[in-house]
Amino acid sequence: MAKTIFEEMGGTYVRQGDYFIPCLTLPAEKENEPIGVWGQRHKHYLQEHKRATYTTLLTSGKLNSYLADIDEQAETMFFQLVKQMAEREGVTEQLKAENALKWTGRMNNIRVCAMELVNEEIIYN
């Protein structure tokens, strides 16, 4: 009996009852890096809005490393934006010592603005 294309490429079958079922497994991912908040948000976005991209990454075994990379990029961008915005707006340790409530309010505002920018540029893009 002639080999199928699947068998020629190294695939095998398992017999279950009257049927031959191909032995399919996902390729193992090289890195098992933890995925942070940003990576989880991007994963959810891919699942909901970019299903083809999500499926392609998942079946190729590259999803985890891709999400870890997105998470790292987003985290770096977030901290850089917070630092730059705080310097530009004059939110310093001196302000923190003089008026902690005002400092907290301004830093919260800066963090929210930075989160929106990261979401727009990296996570939901």
- pLDDT tens column, 91-104: 999 999 999 999 99
- Name the token pair of 105: 């309010």
The more confident residue out of 26 and 45 is 45
| Torsion angles phi and psi, residue 68, rounded to 5 | -65, -40
- Name the token pair of 107: 């830093």
pLDDT in tens, 62-82: 999 999 999 999 999 999 999
Cβ pair 12, 6 in contact under 8 A:
no
